[in-house]
Amino acid sequence: MDPEQLLRTAADRLDALAARTTPGDWRTGGLLATRPEVVTHLPDGSTEHVAEARAGTGAWIATLSPALAPPLASWLRTAATHEPVDPAAEAFAWALLARLA
């Protein structure tokens, strides 16, 4: 598989996984059995505990494990060395920093 196809395939699979999981803006808050509680805030203003939708979210959580941190960080560092900066890398960085705030 050529590199371009590899990237497209990975992106397609990530999109498909995201489409199967609980949608919305996931946030932590409160405690549930001494663990942070994860709640999704949906566009209509409603909320849902992500744990209640575990069947749809388990694959998402496992896929986006800490094992992805090194390659994502490397991608961001590499993208930062190119002019102009890749808009996708910039958008990812902004979204990530907003979640880490």
- pLDDT of 99 reads 84
Domain locations in the chain? 1-64, 65-101
Per-residue pLDDT of 60-89, as tens digits, reads: 888 888 888 989 999 999 999 999 999 999
Separation between Cα atoms, residue 40 and residue 51, nearest integer Å: 10
Q: With 0.85 as the threshold, say if the pTM is over it.
A: no
**Relative orientation angle of helices 3-20 and 54-63, to the nearest 10 degrees:** 150
pLDDT (0 to 100) of residue 53: 73
Residue 51 tokens read as: 């744990």
Kindly report, residue by residue over 6-45, the tens digit of the pLDDT: 888 888 998 998 888 888 888 887 766 667 788 888 899 9
Strands (DSSP E) found in 23-97 = 25-32, 35-41, 47-49
Per-residue pLDDT at 51: 77
